[in-house]
Chains A and B, each alone.
Chain A
Amino acid sequence: MTQMTFARAINAGLRKSLENDPKVILLGEDIGTLGGVFRVTDGLQKDFGKHRVVDTPLAESAIMGTAVGLAYRGYRPVVEIQFDGFIYPAFDQIVSQVAKLHYRTQGAVKMPITVRVPFGGGIGSPEHHSESPEAYFTHTSGLRVVTVSNPQDAHTVIQQAISCDDPVLYFEPKRRYHDKGEVDESIDPGSAIPMDKARVLTEGTDVTLVAYGPLVKTARDAATAATDEGISIEVIDLRSLAPVDYATVEASVRKTGRLVVTHEAGQSGGVGAEVAASITERCFYHLEAAPVRVTGFDIPYPYSKLEMHHVPGLDRILDGVDRALGRPNSLSGLEG
């Protein structure tokens, strides 16, 4: 076990994949000489060369489109999108090509592309640097979408994503990059918990709280705080957003009877909506209350002085928990 930061854990995972498979190739802006604007790829070009850790011109659609061509040629490209808000120029290549080529060619052409996306807010950045675009991609069939919430998962899941034959969007919570955690680098990604499985982090009996990415830490803190009031929260790190591991969430909700989902992304058409709807379909008669969503608002990501009004924090999550439990909360007395 080694103490390392979140960013270093991804770096170590990338290094392992580069070592284990000569077909792994990294593409992105500033990922080589500089080591990435967050230093996630620090030192990799020096050790693996300019042909395997490629600094590209500044064109996201081209980065993604050339990754498609490399995949055609048998490579396993790992693309870095520098910031969440810069992924949109690549949207067409992701949605129309990366996601569909395996289907289009009836399995003949594999697209084992991993797209690393630093996402989420809370770092005081200007516009386009703090977005949570995951729902655009969970809505796109053919893609797998995963998030990581701690250094160990970051290290393991990046390797699982790269070895997966399907395209994977790997969302990294950028405000947690400097958080430290224990990482066991000897864990075999092939025998670790699969990347499309959720994980119950803290067991509880009163309410199921589903979070992913940067809000997992907040959700755990909320659960700890709630024990002071005698509330027992079961926290689930969803990890995979496409597909969602409903079996794990459903088993929890059947036990607690209550569901709160939280994410930074806006509410409408978001992952929370999908989880709430699916769980309602699957175990309606086990629900004691309507599912509750605690999310960012349906606004463009705001300027940084006010961003923490948009990003759900511990208190807003607990307010949502109170709503699910029928306890006094900020919306008490409001209908609907």
Chain B
Amino acid sequence: MSTDEAGQGGPSAGGPGNSAEDHGGSGGNLIQLVTPAGERISHPEFDPWVQEITDENLCSLYEDMMVVRRIDVEATALQRQGELALWPPLLGQEASQIGSGRALRDDDFVFSSYRENGVAYCRGVGLTDIIRVWRGNASAGWDPYTINMATPQIIIGAQTLHATGYAMGIQNDGADSVAITYFGDGATSEGDVNEAMVFAASFQVPVVFFCQNNQWAISEPVRLQSHIQLADRATGFGIPSMRVDGNDVLAVMAATRVALDRARRGGGPTFIEAVTYRMGPHTTADDPTRYRDPNELEDWAAKDPISRVASLLERKGLFTEELQQHVHVKADAVAREMRLGCTTMPDPEPLDIFKHVYSSPNSWLDRQQDHYSRYLASFGDPAGAASEEGAR
């Protein structure tokens, strides 16, 4: 009695891997369409995937990244001012998140970690909903089905399995949507991420593994996680991979489109390593000066994803006063709305803690709730009843 009989069968089990296909194999070459200096360079393989991007689209991508950076800065400020308990900045990762997020269809489904607030913005999340969790008002900011994006996953890598399972469901349903999962370089060491790739490859399901290699897992550098490039890990699972310049919004969009297209056509999973940099701390509770060389930050600042697009727009004569003014006004408005949503968010009610543990009555919990509501009622001020100092 043991588990030594390898499972076979199931959805498309044993289907051929397509690692030898286009864009497959080693992700050694960094895909880049725009240099850090803002020069558009041609890439015969990936150019076609962004060829319909108009000047207007380019300006729009610039706007998205500027707005998301502003959201990030504003949320960090809100944390410093005591309005948020914590915030995980995405500073520096805007191109990875906007480039991939804007490649998705509405009926695709996102399973992310806690840092993908830029992706959430692309999905159309409510600005107040982004910060609900970080203010401590809820464990999830939104209903996942309203924007087809699961709420932030805090357990590292756990969401990659959810995406893979969701993709098994898509496959069973005969749909052509895709599940995409976001995770970091640190997560690639987690068992769940590796198991997700095993399942995704075995069943050839429509899932995209989008790894933002931002070089740091809190204080641990990526070289502690892997002795090979992260994109090359996928090869061992029979999953084609790409290594893309994560600070190049066009390259990220092209690579994501390639992966999405393959998944929609029944070609199975793809692994994308977006090489980027976490310019801020892990969260507002972190102090990167304890483990990071300041020169490294300088090097990456020179490759900033937003100034890169600004340079490109400038070269094209599109970086007008009007555009900058428009983006500035938009970012300000978004920040204002988010701040207002934050400071006027109603506090949850004490008995809310008992809600939704189960979907139907539970005799244990109903009794505890009943007893606690009696306890609260015995105080004049229920808020005082839960304070550490007590209300007696």
> A residues touching B (Cβ–Cβ < 8 Å)?
25, 29-30, 32-34, 37, 45, 50-51, 54-59, 61-62, 64-75, 77, 82-83, 86, 89, 92-93, 96-97, 100, 102-110, 125, 129, 141-142, 144, 164-166, 196, 242-247
**Distance, CA A61 to CA B198, complexed state (A):** 12
Give how many A-B residue pairs fall within 8 Å (CB-CB). 188
Query: Residue-by-residue, is B354-384 near A (CB-CB < 8 Å gives 1, otherwise 0)?
Result: 0111111011110000000000000000000
Q: Across the interface, which residues of B come within 8 angstroms of A77, CB to CB?
A: 165
Q: Which residues does chain B contribute within 8 Å of A92, judged by CB atoms?
A: 155, 158, 192
Contacting pair B169 A70 (CB below 8 A): yes
* Residues in chain B near residue A83, CB distance under 8 A: 1
Bound state CA distance, A86 and B168, in angstroms?
Answer: 23
In angstroms, Cα B158 to Cα A89, docked, is 13
| Binding stretch for chain A, among B144-152, B217-225, B246-254, B264-272 | B144-152
Out of A73, A144, A243, A244, name the residue touching B169 (CB < 8 Å): A73
Interface size range of chain B in the complex? 35 or more
**Structural contact, A106 and B138, CB atoms closer than 8 A:** yes
- Do B8 and A55 have beta carbons less than 8 Å apart? yes
Distance in angstroms from A94 CB to nearest chain B CB is 11
Is B162 interfacial (CB-CB < 8 Å)? yes
Minimum-distance CB pairs A-B, first 9: A69-B165, A65-B161, A73-B169, A66-B165, A62-B195, A69-B166, A55-B7, A243-B364, A108-B143
Interface status of B6 (Cβ within 8 A of chain A): yes
| Beta-carbon contact of A69 and B169 below 8 Å | yes
A51 to B378 Cα, complex, angstroms: 56
- Asked whether A25 and B10 contact (CB < 8 A) given A56-B199, A96-B155, A247-B363, the answer is no
What are 24 A-B interface contacts by the 8 Å CB criterion?
A29-B5, A32-B7, A54-B11, A57-B195, A65-B160, A65-B162, A67-B165, A70-B166, A72-B150, A73-B169, A86-B3, A96-B155, A96-B158, A97-B158, A102-B356, A105-B140, A106-B139, A106-B356, A107-B355, A141-B357, A142-B357, A165-B360, A166-B358, A244-B364
> B365 near A105 (CB under 8 angstroms)?
no
* CB–CB A72/B9 < 8 A: no
Q: Report Cα–Cα, A63/B179, bound state, in Å.
A: 17
Which residues B149-205 have CB closer than 8 A to chain A? 150-151, 155, 158, 160-173, 179, 191-192, 195-196, 198-199, 202
Of chain A, the residue at the smallest CB distance from B5 is A30
What is the chain B residue whose CB lies nearest that of A111? B359
B290-339 contacts to A (CB < 8 Å):
none
In the complex, B258 has a CB within 8 A of chain A: no
Partner of B199, one of A32, A57, A74, A141: A57
Determine which of B111, B145, B170, B195 lies in contact with A59 in the assembled complex, contact meaning CB atoms within 8 Å.
Answer: B195
Which residues of B are at the interface with A, using a C-beta cutoff of 8 A? Answer: 1, 3, 5-11, 13, 109, 111, 138-140, 143-145, 150-151, 155, 158, 160-173, 179, 191-192, 195-196, 198-199, 202, 355-360, 362-365
Min distance, Cβ B161 to any Cβ of chain A, angstroms = 3
Give the Cβ gap from A160 to chain B, nearest Cβ, in Å. Answer: 12
Are the C-beta atoms of B202 and A243 separated by less than 8 Å? no
What DSSP secondary structure best describes chain A's contact surface? loop
Q: How far is the CA of A286 from the CA of B276 in the complex (A)?
A: 68
What's the least CB distance linking B334 to chain A, in Å? 25
**Most chain A beta carbons < 10 A, residue from B164, B171, B195, B360:** B195
CB neighbours of A75 from chain B (8 A): 169, 172
What separation, in Å, do the CA atoms of A33 and B139 have in the docked complex? Answer: 41
Q: Which residues of B contact A33 (CB under 8 A)?
A: 8-9
Known: A58-B7, A62-B196, A102-B357. A68 touches B162 (CB 8 A): yes
Query: Contacts of A243 on B, CB cut-off 8 Å?
Result: 362-365
List the A side residues contacting B358 at CB < 8 Å.
102, 142, 144, 166
What are the residues of chain A within 8 A of B6 when measuring CB–CB?
57-58
| B144, A72: Cβ atoms closer than 8 Å | yes
Seed contacts A59-B195, A65-B192; 16 additional CB < 8 Å A-B pairs: A61-B191, A62-B196, A66-B161, A66-B164, A66-B165, A67-B165, A70-B165, A72-B162, A72-B165, A73-B165, A86-B3, A100-B139, A102-B356, A109-B150, A142-B358, A144-B362
Q: A96-B158, A243-B365 are in contact. Are A50 and B166 (CB under 8 A)?
A: no
Across-interface contacts of B139 in A (CB, < 8 A): 100, 103-106
